[in-house]
Structure 1
Amino acid sequence: MLYLEILGNLPEMAKDEVKAMLELAGGRIIGQDYLFLKLDADETAFPYLDRLGLAHEYGELIVEADSIGELLQKAEEVDWPIRGTFKVDTETMANCRHDVLDLPRKLGAVIHAQGFHVNLSKPDTLVRVYCGERVYAGIRLRFFDPKDFERRKAHHRPFFRPISLHPRISRALVNLTKAKRELLDPMMGAGGILMEAGLLGLKVYGVDIRPEMVEGAERNLRHYGVKDFELKLGDATRLSELFDKTFEAVATDPPYGTSATLAGRRRNELYRKVLESIHGVLEPGGRLAIAFPADFDGEEEAERVGFKPVGRYYQRVHKSLERYFYVFER
């Protein structure tokens, strides 16, 4: 049994990202307590969980209980898989209904009694306690360091464009497509989505109508070590003319701005044509993850083209931009 803590800024999107990866791994989510997920999965899921963008950490779930007393009793009855020294760290979630103030000391004493030694500064093993409606204790296996994503934010890239998705969200969009081999971004801009997909080992394909974006995206991909890519100068509404193949997955973040930034075309009409074009090159059963401003009914337009809605997630970016992230299946 595993546990996983998702991030709280887009919780439904984060949960569905986990679900998509577990579907590839053969696992499933069997419980949720605020941002804490219980997973029916084992070590075979690790390569898929390691792909996550909207996650804080995951680990092995050791005990869970309805009270502090029950947790401590159960903790005495299990063999803790501690390697080296350990430390107990508590995560008090917004829905925590237990007094966990002294729990690290109490649980630490239980584990210490099994012969393990405490190291509060540099432990070899971190025991994580989560407090929500219930209380849980487990061994952290993977922490998703925010610095890994921060260093790929727009202002750190050699080709800089200020309008770009956060790398965590780009990663989540890739994962929501359930891509295993390849991914196409037909409106790639500076290549942020392609960077995340490429770092996951996928072959990436990109299209943009502006030559400077094609050149800049290549600079960014090479800078971050992505080597297996194919970028083309072209029109996202005419993808079947650019490629003589279909694609396993598509993820993209179309421009939201004025007609000048949309190659002189009306925004909503461009979105409709792009959806039609993507549908024409996506494999049957393949997924599309895409963002649209909130005043465009992406679900209705996608269904008109022939897509099946899988997920929709709202985000307010600032007072002048609200958007939905959509996942569709062909």
Structure 2
Amino acid sequence: MPLALCCVSHSPLLELPGTPPDLVDEVGSALEEAADFVRDCDPELVVIFSPDHYNGFFYRVMPPFCIGNAARGVGDYGTSADPLDVPRDLADACARAVLESGVDVAVSESMDVDHGTVQPLQRLLGDSRARPVIPIFVNSVAAPLGPLHRVRALGTAVGHYLAGLDKRVLIIGSGGLSHDPPVPTLATATGGVRERIIHGGSQTPEQRSARQSAVIEAARDFAAGRGPLRPLNPDWDREFLAIVDSGRLDEFDGWSNTRITTDAGSSAHEVRTWVAAFAAMATQGPYETTVRYYRAAPELIAGFAIRSAQQTIQARP
């Protein structure tokens, strides 16, 4: 059966107070249009490529890719802390197929997923448990990062696996575009922050509240032109979107990680989830993007974008 795709940016600020209501309404309307697309597709299975923000994966062991055979939300930024409905047999078979294709991928029998996974599921499906989901973690924050051509290879391997299923499958990519939020790095973190990003551990309600307050304050300063965060880069965002719209995915093989960080910010590497998702989609032939939304939104500390895609219907000769 043909695949369908919906890639979306995410932002914890969509779920927090202080974001301008007109922006929340505009982004919400675009997400609802994407949700309509998903409802029309009526997927029997969802595969989501998503990052993590030191809520489920830590430097104690940091795989480049990981497929969850079971997963639960951590409940950050107003998202659900419920377990996802992961079909273990399909997730395990997917991991085996990816490994057999020559792409190294870890597996998890107890994956913790944060807003980067749960927010798109809730926004597009209405509930994180609405459909069976295979979660695929793509490291997009913790250096060192591998080259984009390996991300594309991951997506291609997953796409070939999905082609063998007699199911309607929706592929989601969650992340991006240009943005440089206050996410800690191993090179600069000290004290308790460094301890957390290496060893992990649950946050107390007080710690989670303090983190949310810090994000709100950073967004307020960024929107006002203050603070140390790197500016958004709408030109870079539009270049990226033009490539996925046209299906020229091999062009990403020439993009260096240094270029991405310099041009678009440290968290712009979340576009890896889009590259993987579109690579999976492309295994079934040409596609066309339908729902198209983009806004440079400093109030969300993000170039916020949405793309849906379906296979191109080719006329018979």
TM-score using structure 2 length: 0.30
Larger Cα-atom Rg: 1
Structure with the bigger percentage of strand = 1
Higher relative contact order (CA 8 A, sep 6+): 2
**Structure 1 length normalisation: TM-score?**
0.30
- Looking at secondary structure, tell me which structure has more helix per residue: 2
